[in-house]
Chain A
Amino acid sequence: MKLKVCGMKYQDNIESIAGLKPDYLGFIFYEKTPRHFNTKIPEISDNIKKTGVFVNAEMGTIVEKVNEFKLDAVQLHGEESPYFCSILRSTSLLSRPIEIIKVFSVKEGFNFEVLEPYENVCDFYLFDTKGKLPGGNGYTFDWSLLNDYPSTKPFFLSGGIGIDQIEAIKAFQKSEASKYCYAIDVNSKFETEPGLKNSSILREFINKLHNKKTMNYNVDDKGYYGEFGGAYIPEMLYPNVEELRQNYLKVMAEPEFQKEFDQLLKDYVGRPSPLYFAKRLSEKYNTKIYLKREDLNHTGAHKINNTIGQILMAKRLGKTRIIAETGAGQHGVATATVCALMGMECIVYMGEIDIARQAPNVARMKMLGAKVVPALSGSRTLKDATNEAIRDWINNPVNTHYIIGSAIGPHPYPDMVTRFQAVISEEIKWQLREQEGRENPDYVVACIGGGSNAAGTYYHYLHEPDVGIIAVEAAGLGIDSGESAATSVLGKEGIIHGCKTLLMQTKDGQITEPYSISAGLDYPGVGPMHAHLSKTGRAEFLSITDSDAMEAGLELSKLEGIIPAIETSHAFAIFKHKTFKPDDVVVMSLSGRGDKDLQNYIDYFKI
């Protein structure tokens, strides 16, 4: 159901309410109300329909206001005749097409026959409460009267609606009377004074109306994010995964565990990682860009946050042998590192192609004492390395823990990995408060392969509706090129590596081989949480080609003196495709450093 917020008056307030993304904002051009609108409308999103409200105004006045304020809709509250409506609708004096909303005040005994002459001359009806004044009078009418609604024209439900009516609205939505109810119209019940809306109460109302309060972006107790997730695993893996599922939250909540985890993150990883205001980049793109410096972690990427957590988990579960998959090699290095730290055996599966394109990381893993096993099947990249790691686990069910590096796999892996990575957004919150005086940026941005750095960057903002979430996928040579890894666009619901999520596949359900220049994003699926964020529209997904990513990596190097991993470079390419406002605060996850990609950069730019 759509939402109209009516009776807007003050510029700042209009901007802040527009930030809640209502579908309509109403401006009352009627002098006898304290909500009379007599200033300018600030720049607001084109998705919000600006609605002029009139009471028996002259045609010329309405036309003038429509043209002056670029109104998208006109709401008529007086005794405007059907003829008046039809002329208004068709007059060539209007600079733009408008929707016409005709208002009727309803009370018991309301005769719906009065609507008939208006059927063909307006777009919507609006029903409010019959009272002394034009407008809603601040109390609701008996909505069951709408059971007799004889028309099929969509209507706005209005009159004294406040946050206390949420349950009544939900009941109404379920009733037959709401069949043609198109929108809810609110006004005085959300005001601190006439014309001044309370944005926090309105936000709560919107969240409740859209079930956002109950829209949960975290995993549910069965291991699902909406319809995605679960544990689609062969029985051979069940005891391992079940052991983990039963213990992971318990172990993570233990004070001793937390103490050891925090200590290692601080003394070994070097956390907190800085939140750095990128001045030159901000100037170039005329917005405020902060970089969350995960590249400065020990081993050069965010991956180690999770491997520290999981190795402590494995120890507590009595495991002695560690396996992992890796794409770019960052997770492999992070796993080999913590295994060295804990003196555990470490086997890393890595696609044969990735071994070739990430040679420095292969050497690092070997130096750290890990065994690197090439995955020779399929596309010989991350997907196949994951298959091999899973097969290893099937063959070694008792002593082995599988450290999955991404927010993917059977439940509880996506949630466990996300929780270990959530330290990223936890730090952003207090760091941003120190620097900007507020915890919530306007946007958080991260690149997504399976989605672990993204999950950590978003985690504490998932349920903050004023924080926009942007996920950047690898388009490879282009979405339509057949050489891509943009799962949210090209993927369909299916099962990969133990979970239901979006994945790239043939019509026949065979998983297809993705392509990206970056080994870390070269994966045909995406974590189930991200599939849910994509499906619900909570996150905006953008896809960036190889060439745009490489250029963005070079640009960041030259502007800020930071050479990013090619995975990370994808996120920085969005500024070429999306414009932010000058005072927007955009936090970028700088998920990894580019040392491992030096040869790729050298080859690409012929340096």
Chain B
Amino acid sequence: MNRINQKLKEDKKLLSIYFTAGYPEINDTVSIIQDLEKNGVDMIEIGLPFSDPLADGPTIQDSSTAALKNGMTTEVLFKQLEGIRETVSIPLIIMGYFNPMFQYGIEAFCKKCQELGIDGLIIPDLPVDVYHEKYQSIFEKYGLINVFLITPQTSDERIRYIDSISNGFIYMVSSASTTGAKSGFGEEQTAYFERIGNMNLNNPQVIGFGISNNETFTQATKYAKGAIIGSAFVKHVTKHGIKTIDSFTKSILN
């Protein structure tokens, strides 16, 4: 069974952390992953940086630009991840935009992910229908789970459709925004969380965007299986470097 599915079966709320590969320094990738696991993180999104990240706010944009400047590429990331499964056992997901993967070749990309022990992909700008029509069979061939986003504006009908195509979890974007734009949840969000919770979807949901501390993590996981923190973690390593990951995770998990 895919590590993501296994993890989702565990009887606990999951903390998932996003970081941008190649940031703050080009060779920080592996040690960030290892430290996150060591400090109780359940799942990791490894951000493959892109020059034009449309769905990201300034924090992740800037980290992506810096990572690219540091020399991060798809090839370099794959090289860094060689042997990662000797030391890390939690699910690893690569999150990135479609064009770099498309240029690498989708099949080659998926094959490499399988070889390295990557469990899934999140590609915000690959629409579900294009995935379904063209790429689903390739992803499945290499045992990869593709994770789709839904937002407060996504219709019930479309959520059901996305649920039917998904085979891991659904990434619930907490509010209509780019990453890191908002913090804290209002009534609008909790109503949305409840609405989705009541839909009894086949796939568990993990909430992302707007989660930055223990309070928002607790709020989100009241309704969902887990939560993803991205911008807040990137801000943390920008400010404090990668040696104090434990203090960050402790502040979330208490």
A residues neighboring B (CB under 8 Å): 230-236, 238-239, 377-378, 383, 387, 390-391, 394-398, 492, 494-498, 505, 507-512
Name B55's contact: one of A234, A377, A496 (CB within 8 Å). Answer: A234
Closest residue of chain A to B171 (Cβ to Cβ) is: A235
- Tell whether A230 pairs with B151 under 8 Å between CB atoms, given A378-B52, A509-B103: no
Name A238's contact: one of B126, B154, B178 (CB within 8 Å). Answer: B154
Q: Is the CB of A511 within 8 A of B155?
A: no
Q: List 5 A-B contacts (CB under 8 A).
A: A232-B125, A236-B149, A387-B54, A396-B176, A510-B68
Q: Is the CB of B51 within 8 A of A395?
A: no
Binds A, one of B12-20, B93-101, B190-198, B242-250: B93-101
Report A-chain residues with C-beta under 8 Å of the C-beta of B126.
Answer: 232
Q: Is the CB of A239 within 8 A of B153?
A: yes
Name A236's contact: one of B50, B73, B176 (CB within 8 Å). Answer: B176
- Tell whether A238 pairs with B158 under 8 Å between CB atoms, given A232-B125, A395-B176: yes
- Measured CB to CB, the closest approach of chain A to B154, in angstroms, equals 6
Give the docked Cα–Cα distance between A299 and B74 (Å): 45
Q: Is the CB of B103 within 8 A of A394?
A: no
Is B184 positioned at the interface, with any CB of A under 8 Å from its CB?
no
Q: Is the CB of A511 within 8 A of B154?
A: no
- Tell whether A398 pairs with B153 under 8 Å between CB atoms, given A236-B173, A508-B103: yes
Give the docked Cα–Cα distance between A383 and B148 (Å): 26
Give the docked Cα–Cα distance between A394 and B104 (Å): 28
Q: Is the CB of A509 within 8 A of B155?
A: no
- Tell whether A238 pairs with B99 under 8 Å between CB atoms, given A394-B178, A511-B52: no
Report B-chain residues with C-beta under 8 Å of the C-beta of A509.
Answer: 50, 74, 99-104
Report B-chain residues with C-beta under 8 Å of the C-beta of A390.
Answer: 54
Q: Is the CB of B158 within 8 A of A394?
A: no
Give the docked Cα–Cα distance between A507 and B158 (Å): 35
Extra inter-chain contacts (6) besides given A235-B151, A397-B176, A498-B54, CB under 8 Å: A236-B153, A239-B151, A494-B102, A497-B52, A505-B99, A509-B74
Interface residues on B, range: 35 or more
- Measured CB to CB, the closest approach of chain B to A377, in angstroms, equals 6
Q: Is the CB of A232 within 8 A of B176?
A: no
Q: Is the CB of A395 within 8 A of B100?
A: no
Name B103's contact: one of A231, A377, A507 (CB within 8 Å). Answer: A507
Q: Is the CB of B125 within 8 A of A230?
A: no
Q: Is the CB of A495 within 8 A of B102?
A: yes
Q: Is the CB of A495 within 8 A of B178?
A: no
Is B221 positioned at the interface, with any CB of A under 8 Å from its CB?
no
Q: Is the CB of B176 within 8 A of A495?
A: no
Q: Is the CB of A510 within 8 A of B100?
A: yes
Encode contact with A along B195-231: 1 for CB under 8 Å, 0 otherwise: 0000000000000000000000000000000000000
Give the docked Cα–Cα distance between A592 and B182 (Å): 41
Is B143 positioned at the interface, with any CB of A under 8 Å from its CB?
no
Q: Is the CB of B153 within 8 A of A397?
A: yes
Best-surrounded residue of A391, A396, A496 (most CB of chain B within 10 A): A391
Closest residue of chain A to B61 (Cβ to Cβ) is: A377
- Tell whether A395 pairs with B181 under 8 Å between CB atoms, given A234-B54, A507-B103: yes
Is B83 positioned at the interface, with any CB of A under 8 Å from its CB?
no
Is B150 positioned at the interface, with any CB of A under 8 Å from its CB?
yes
- Measured CB to CB, the closest approach of chain B to A228, in angstroms, equals 13
- Measured CB to CB, the closest approach of chain A to B163, in angstroms, equals 13
- Tell whether A496 pairs with B99 under 8 Å between CB atoms, given A235-B149, A511-B51: yes
Q: Is the CB of A230 within 8 A of B55?
A: no
- Tell whether A234 pairs with B124 under 8 Å between CB atoms, given A394-B55, A394-B177, A496-B99: yes
Report A-chain residues with C-beta under 8 Å of the C-beta of B150.
Answer: 235
Is B10 positioned at the interface, with any CB of A under 8 Å from its CB?
no
Give the docked Cα–Cα distance between A494 and B97 (Å): 11
Q: Is the CB of A395 within 8 A of B178?
A: yes
Give the docked Cα–Cα distance between A510 and B178 (Å): 20
Give the docked Cα–Cα distance between A390 and B52 (Å): 11
Name B98's contact: one of A394, A495, A497 (CB within 8 Å). Answer: A495
Is B40 positioned at the interface, with any CB of A under 8 Å from its CB?
no
Report A-chain residues with C-beta under 8 Å of the C-beta of B57.
Answer: 391
Is B11 positioned at the interface, with any CB of A under 8 Å from its CB?
no
- Measured CB to CB, the closest approach of chain B to A117, in angstroms, equals 50
Is B127 positioned at the interface, with any CB of A under 8 Å from its CB?
yes
